[in-house]
Amino acid sequence: MSWDKVGKLLVALLLGLMVLLVAYALLKDDARLEASLTYAYLTYPSQFSERISKTNEQLKYEQLQPRINSIGRGELTQDQVDRLIELAQAPYAQLFAKPFEAGLVDHRTGLVIDLRNTGEREVREVKIRLPAKGLVQVRDAQGNDRIIEAPTALVEIPAIEQGGACKVWVYFDADYSQIRQGGTSISHADGVADVQVYREYTGFSALMARYSRELVVLIGVLTFSVLGLAYACLARRRSPVLPS
């Protein structure tokens, strides 16, 4: 096979590929639901954790019982002491009820999901499947919050109006790496969402990640230009010279 035929074949393949890409871009049904996922490792002030631990210790029965007896100077019955301890513990016991037995210490893996309806009609029956059960807060386009009390691995949103947006916060009591590896899937009544996952980069890697699409386009243009120039040179080199 001559270089002339090779050049023509390469150019034909490139042209065919470009035609296919353009046709796909024009004919494909763009995802009407876009989602961006941002994972974070949450940290809380150590002073807060220490306060939680001290409060939990001071609310124990063995700590309250002698203090109440001292205040009552022995005039209270055991039943009255127990009732006073129960009343004193009640407001704080709710703070340490499941899943907050250890305060916020166990919920250090966070996930923020931004949903955007970029289609021409309402997106219905949005379902977010999480890699593990977590505490969920959902905010709609009007700024209304819906808080799900119990940990869940499935978040359902009835609808997102055209041009609307929705934000979801999830707090996991699982390890950060486990959540990242587990993955999150988002679907709706007409298909799946176009999901983008954000990661943190620094230095040269950050520059490459930021302009990765532009770099791919530039490489494609340069490749096509080089092949086109090579073909033009070969065609000119092999063109017959007419006698004068």
CA 103 vs CA 77, 84, 95: distances in Å: 33, 24, 7
Q: Is 0.75 surpassed by the pTM of this model?
A: no
Q: How do the pLDDT tens digits run along the chain, 244 residues long? A: 555 665 666 666 667 766 666 555 554 445 489 999 999 988 878 887 788 788 888 888 999 999 888 888 888 899 999 999 999 888 888 877 788 777 777 888 999 999 999 988 899 999 999 999 999 999 998 889 999 988 999 999 999 998 999 999 999 988 888 888 888 999 998 889 988 887 655 566 666 666 777 777 888 777 877 777 766 666 666 655 545 4
CA dihedral 223, 229, 232, 233 (to 10 degrees): -120
Whether the CB-CB separation of 194 and 31 falls below 8 Å is answered with yes
* Long-range contacts from 230-237, C-beta under 8 angstroms, 24+ separation: 230/7, 231/7, 231/8, 231/10, 231/11, 234/3, 234/4, 234/7, 235/4, 235/7
Query: Which residues share a beta bridge with 226?
Result: none
